[in-house]
């Protein structure tokens, strides 16, 4: 009987030890799974934070881009619609004239060497009338000057030279047409800006006088608004000045080509006389 109780006790102890080992293994497995889940959660949180940071940076960039346009609009309104509007009108009109002159001058540019060769060939093959026909079919101020010189070739070389010089002055006037208005807008834009600044400063001092106290915020606000017109006027003048200088250089290039071609035409008529 005692042996049976001893066997039962040993069997109980064995089963309890086995259960304890299994329970410990299960506990270790659960802990490992929890650690893995914790690491996965931390990785997901880090990825989510990186994505959120990238989205926030993109939103900040978009807001800064939108804010830039809003600031320009706001500064334009703060400068006052009266003077800022007139300065803006100077910019629009000046750019319109500059674009028109650029198109005209580019169309007036021609290959004077090719035209001179064509006129020389026409003079040898068909005479003056054939050369005049070549000039009629060619666009540009150089061909117009050639036509006038050829039209008076029968009156002598002196008349040809006088005709070329006179009509060259006419063509130069057509090339320079509108440039004086662009120059006017270049000078007028900063003047209007300075006038707006002076009037704004007067308004700021009137506000100080009415308040009876020199407030830094009041003075700074009035001066800032007054200076906006000057800044805008100077920007308009600089933009138009770039176009004006380009047009002047283009006109000088065409005029030099006209003068060179005119001398060559006179020499050609003398040789084929």
Which tens digit of pLDDT belongs to each residue from 131-165?
888 888 888 888 888 888 888 877 878 888 888 88
230 closest CA partner among 254, 200, 202, 257:
200
pLDDT band at 19 (very low <50, low <70, confident <90, very high): very low
Task: Determine the length of the chain.
Answer: 273
**What pLDDT is stored for residue 162 in this prediction?**
85
**What pLDDT is stored for residue 183 in this prediction?**
94
- In angstroms, the CA 156 to CA 149 distance is 10
Residue 42 has pLDDT above 90, yes or no: no
pLDDT band at 71 (very low <50, low <70, confident <90, very high): confident
Residue 8 has pLDDT above 70, yes or no: no
How many CB atoms neighbour CB 90 within 10 A?
24
Roughly how many angstroms between the first and final C-alpha of the chain, as a whole number? 157
pLDDT band at 60 (very low <50, low <70, confident <90, very high): very low
For the ranges 12-26, 128-142, 174-188, 208-222, the one whose mean pLDDT is highest: 174-188
DSSP character at residue 156: -
Candidate from 27-31, 38-42, 111-115 with smallest mean pLDDT: 27-31
pTM > 0.95? no
CA distances 239 to 186, 189, 229, Å, are 9, 11, 16
**What pLDDT is stored for residue 27 in this prediction?**
52
Dihedral (CA of 80, 86, 88, 91) sign: negative
pLDDT band at 22 (very low <50, low <70, confident <90, very high): very low
Residue corresponding to tokens 């109780």: 5
198-233, pLDDT tens digit by residue?
887 777 777 777 777 676 666 666 677 778 888 889
Q: Could you tell me where the DSSP H helices lie in the chain?
A: 2-78, 81-108, 112-136, 141-151, 157-175, 179-211, 216-271
């Amino acid at each position: 009987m005692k042996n049976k109780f001893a066997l039962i006790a040993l069997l109980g102890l064995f089963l309890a030890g086995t259960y304890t080992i299994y329970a410990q293994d299960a506990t270790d497995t659960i802990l490992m799974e929890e650690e893995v889940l914790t690491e996965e959660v931390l990785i997901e949180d880090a990825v989510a934070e990186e994505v959120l940071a990238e989205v926030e940076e993109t939103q900040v960039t978009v807001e800064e881009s939108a804010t830039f346009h809003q600031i320009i609009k706001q500064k334009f309104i703060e400068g006052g619609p009266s003077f800022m509007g007139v300065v803006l009108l100077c910019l629009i009109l000046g750019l319109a004239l500059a674009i028109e002159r650029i198109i005209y001058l580019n169309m007036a540019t021609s290959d004077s060497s090719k035209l001179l060769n064509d006129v020389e060939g026409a003079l040898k093959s068909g005479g003056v009338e054939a050369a005049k026909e070549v000039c009629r079919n060619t666009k540009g101020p150089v061909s117009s000057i050639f036509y006038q010189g050829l039209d008076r070739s029968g009156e002598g070389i002196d008349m040809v030279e006088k005709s070329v010089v006179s009509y060259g002055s006419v063509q130069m006037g057509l090339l320079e047409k509108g440039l004086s208005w662009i120059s006017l807008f270049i000078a007028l834009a900063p003047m209007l800006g300075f006038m707006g600044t002076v009037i704004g400063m007067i308004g700021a001092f009137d506000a100080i006088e009415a308040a009876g106290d020199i407030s830094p915020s009041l003075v700074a606000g009035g001066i800032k608004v007054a200076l906006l017109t000057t800044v805008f006027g100077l920007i308009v003048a600089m933009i138009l000045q770039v176009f004006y200088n380009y047009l002047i250089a283009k006109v000088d290039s065409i005029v030099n080509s006209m003068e060179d071609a005119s001398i060559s035409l006179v020499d050609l008529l003398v040789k084929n006389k």
